[in-house]
Structure 1
Amino acid sequence: MNDPALDAETLRERALTTLTTARARTTLLTSCVDDPDLTAQHSPLMSPLVWDLAHIGNQEEQWLLRAVAGRDAMRPEIDGLYDAFEHPRSERPSLPLLPPSEARAYASEVRGRVLDLLEGTAFHGTRLTEAGFAFGMIAQHEQQHDETMLITHQLRRGPQALTAPDPEPAPPFTGPSEVLVPGGPFTMGTSTEPWALDNERPAHRREVAAFHIDTAPVTNGAYQAFIEDGGYDDERWWTKDGWAHIRRHGIHAPLFWHREGRQWLRRRFGVTEAVPPEEPVLHVCWYEADAYARWAGRRLPTEAEWEKAARHDPVSGRSTRYPWGDADPAPRHANLGQRHLRPAPAGSYPEGESPLGVRQLIGDVWEWTASDFLPYPGFQAFPYKEYSEVFFGPEHKVLRGGSFAVDAVACRGTFRNWDYPIRRQIFSGFRTARSAEGA
């Protein structure tokens, strides 16, 4: 969304497009398997797919039909079942959830009423309706759950249920391995992006010392060198908590990897294949990313460093919406939207690089940063504290940039994701950095 002062018809069309795109993806993710797979819990880390489906509809009803339109609850008795804070994921299979057919019908009925509402909405008057924020928030929420459901599909055992073409073949990247980001101030966060969420706000100045950052994310091949050098068996590279975690759980490689003879294989959406050395490494936790960086004589970038590398234009001095500028993402820029079911080779998407030449900062893999998830100066929770505020603190680490599983509506240069440092089922990778000499 380029211009915050768009006319009502343009806002209506964008809201309709993003909601429709999200629902098409939800339908794909919940129709490609039979009902027993929808109601089963494929991992205690994840909800049954049918819970996500009805939760999507319930959130849409609560925020668009109730909060925006002021209507009565359609099914108030189910609100508690689909409250993410009331029931942890591990307990959700035991709840009296709507069966698949009923969940589909409920989500569909909500959507029909929302589309009627959209036709007559004036995009002003309240903070929720300004520039269509509530519609954008719900589209982002649905796409975030679509990514969660895709993670569940990756964890699911059984035959392949999803297919997608591979990314276009790219010539091997032969550019520099790292880029110097000059020191100085830049504008972090946003106060003007209409659909930005509360933790991205407000825009503020940050001073960042000069540093070097990897041109592309760390690859499977590079990560294998860490494994072969005994990285998982050498306490020197690990934080105290990280070392205890991998020892306790017997972790010796990224999630879904296993070795057969001299070859590393991985399981990807029901298919076992050789680990491609040129792809960014995937399904590593923060502790693994941090240990690799130490082993390589480097470190993880801070969140501010990552955003400066992604948004700062040293010529104009301004922060752009994306590394390539202010234009909305296109397929030539980044691997987003479940268009593919894997990352593109490291160094892909030259048209998506930053002004300094850093590539793949958007899409492919979420990138762990060194930073805890904390509020920006002047942060205000909106429209509810449970979206961001309750997660602030050292327990969660920040991830940036999105992955192939993220839709463009829920990914921008200011977008912040967060998770526990032990999480590996997410589509997470990383790149490394180092301070510039004399910085």
Structure 2
Amino acid sequence: MTHAAPLSDTGSRSPAETDRITAITALFEATRARSRALVAPLSPEDMMLQPMQDASPAKWHLAHTTWFFEEFILKPRDPDYRSPDDRFAFLFNSYYVQAGPRHARDKRGLISRPDVADVMAYRAHVEQALAAVLRAGRDDAAEIADLVELGCHHEMQHQELLVTDLLNGLSYNPLLPVYQAPDGTPAKGENHPVTYTAHAGGLVEMGFDGTAAQAGFAYDCEMPRHKTYLAPYQLADRPVSNGDWIAFMEAGGYADQTLWLMDGWACAQREGWDAPLYWWQQDGEWWSYTLRGPMPVDPAAPVVHVSYYEADAFARWSGARLPTEAEWESAAGDTPIRGNFLDAGEDDGAETLGALIPRAGGGMYGDVWEWTQSPFTPYPGFRPPEGAIGEYNGKFMVNQFVLRGGSCATPRAQMRPSYRTFFYPHQRWQMLGLRLARDAG
């Protein structure tokens, strides 16, 4: 692995520009190091797993995130750059139509060559070339820094996918292997009744505006900042817990068609859903498969791996509803972004990972993504960027629902009040949970 070299050729950069490049270089190094930490426990066989079309092998994630830097920064901006293999562009493009043809998504697990060593060499090659570009004192240094920052956040999203895709792949192994050794046997918590906080609503602003008050990175789909009206509402003070979900199951929630959306009921019947993904009963007790191996279900921890359809049915059974994303963002307000995240162990400067399982006692952020009832659509005035980069979010703004708050598989650096992720209503393999809302009065 070749790390980005220290800045030396600052040229005529202003102090602010130099600080910006230094910060982006550090972000790049930390992001790439985290990807290495994620795959360190894996065998080459582990890194080939592709259990379904929605998931990709760990090896592909490593290569694709590298291709992103190569395709959008090095190839168009460094005339001296040469790829170690021009065929990688076909293998590791995902959905960027304007970037050229792509290998079939559902066949990524069949790419045994290049092998893992070749992929890691590809990563090192791109990292070395990008480090040289960052320290070259170029006139377009600010534009390059913006693209590197985007590439880092893109890689963070794929780190989350790598973790959840791996969990799904390993879950098919009857040995139920352990990815990360558990730190002792976690004590089960007590499932306390949910409480609600009232919010006045009114005319509120949502989205990212890029001002000093919201300094930092944001995706195009989080903009522009705009006004929306909220009726008074109440929001639960915690996510729905495993204990809450067990009560729903014991009350026949999976068998009561009146609770379900028509599409949701058809999906649940077709897939045979009767519990969250990865759950089973053993000696009268609920267990789940996690990246720490099989674990008894903690009734106080947030429920995870439930679809929008299940979340909606649970909310209806509870006499509540899912919040809108505007309600969630308004309620989050200036809440400190603290929680159970993927990179929790990096606070001490070590390349260690977080818990990788949801834990009780969290706030608005971390542990589990929370379904909202809001479809993933553009904000008023949204315009995607020109070129292939504009395909990042805009082309997916249909048939999906927004989730908020991040999860135990999300890097902390990704989180901000305006951050939106999105999934199809039937999907469950991600770290997906919910928080209830009610109309006021």
TM-score bracket, shorter-length normalisation: 0.7 to 0.9
Cα 1:225–1:201 shift into 2, 3 Å:
same
CA distance in 2, matches of 1:9, 1:170: 49
CA distance in 1, matches of 2:194, 2:402: 26
Task: Give the SS at the match of 1:226.
Answer: helix
CA distance in 2, matches of 1:123, 1:428: 43
Report the counterpart of residue 122 of structure 2 in structure 1.
106
Report the counterpart of residue 355 of structure 1 in structure 2.
none
The alignment of Structure 1 onto Structure 2 pairs a total of residues equal to: 400
Q: Check if 1:53 corresponds to 2:62.
A: yes
CA distance in 2, matches of 1:374, 1:164: 40
Shift of 1:88: 4.6
Report the counterpart of residue 409 of structure 1 in structure 2.
413
Report the counterpart of residue 368 of structure 1 in structure 2.
371
TM-score, normalised by the number of residues in structure 1: 0.85
CA distance in 2, matches of 1:166, 1:71: 52
Q: Which amino acid aligns with 1:178?
A: Y
Report the counterpart of residue 133 of structure 1 in structure 2.
146
Equivalent residue for 1:386, pick from 388, 391, 395: 391
CA distance in 2, matches of 1:436, 1:427: 29
Whether the 8 Å CA contact 2:277–2:429 is kept in 1: the answer is yes
Task: Give the SS at the match of 1:273.
Answer: strand
Whether the 8 Å CA contact 1:257–1:266 is kept in 2: the answer is yes
CA distance in 1, matches of 2:236, 2:37: 35
Shift of 1:22: 1.7
After superposition, residues 160-179 of structure 1 pair within 5 angstroms as: 160-163=178-181, 165=183, 177-179=195-197
Shift of 1:165: 4.8
Whether the 8 Å CA contact 2:188–2:300 is kept in 1: the answer is no
Equivalent residue for 1:426, pick from 430, 434, 438: 430
Q: Check if 1:299 corresponds to 2:332.
A: no
Cα 1:298–1:22 shift into 2, 3 Å:
same
CA distance in 1, matches of 2:418, 2:223: 9
Cα 1:166–1:78 shift into 2, 3 Å:
same
CA distance in 1, matches of 2:193, 2:25: 41
Task: Give the SS at the match of 1:300.
Answer: coil
CA distance in 2, matches of 1:398, 1:377: 16
Shift of 1:6: 9.2
Whether the 8 Å CA contact 1:39–1:100 is kept in 2: the answer is no
After superposition, residues 330-341 of structure 1 pair within 5 angstroms as: 333-336=338-341, 337=343, 338-341=353-356
| Per-residue Cα deviation, 1:67-116 (whole angstroms, up to 9, x for no partner) | 45465451332211111123453221234642111000001110122122
CA distance in 2, matches of 1:206, 1:124: 37
Equivalent residue for 2:217, pick from 183, 189, 195: 195
Task: Give the SS at the match of 1:103.
Answer: helix
Report the counterpart of residue 8 of structure 2 in structure 1.
none
CA distance in 1, matches of 2:47, 2:54: 15
Report the counterpart of residue 396 of structure 1 in structure 2.
400
CA distance in 1, matches of 2:282, 2:182: 27
Q: Check if 1:84 corresponds to 2:65.
A: no
Structure 2 gaps, min length 5: 1-13, 96-101, 344-352
CA distance in 1, matches of 2:385, 2:113: 29
CA distance in 1, matches of 2:161, 2:364: 21
Whether the 8 Å CA contact 1:81–1:97 is kept in 2: the answer is no
Shift of 1:270: 5.3
Report the counterpart of residue 358 of structure 2 in structure 1.
343
CA distance in 2, matches of 1:136, 1:431: 31
| Per-residue Cα deviation, 1:348-367 (whole angstroms, up to 9, x for no partner) | 3xxxxxxxxxxx22211111
Structure 1 gaps, min length 5: 312-319, 349-359
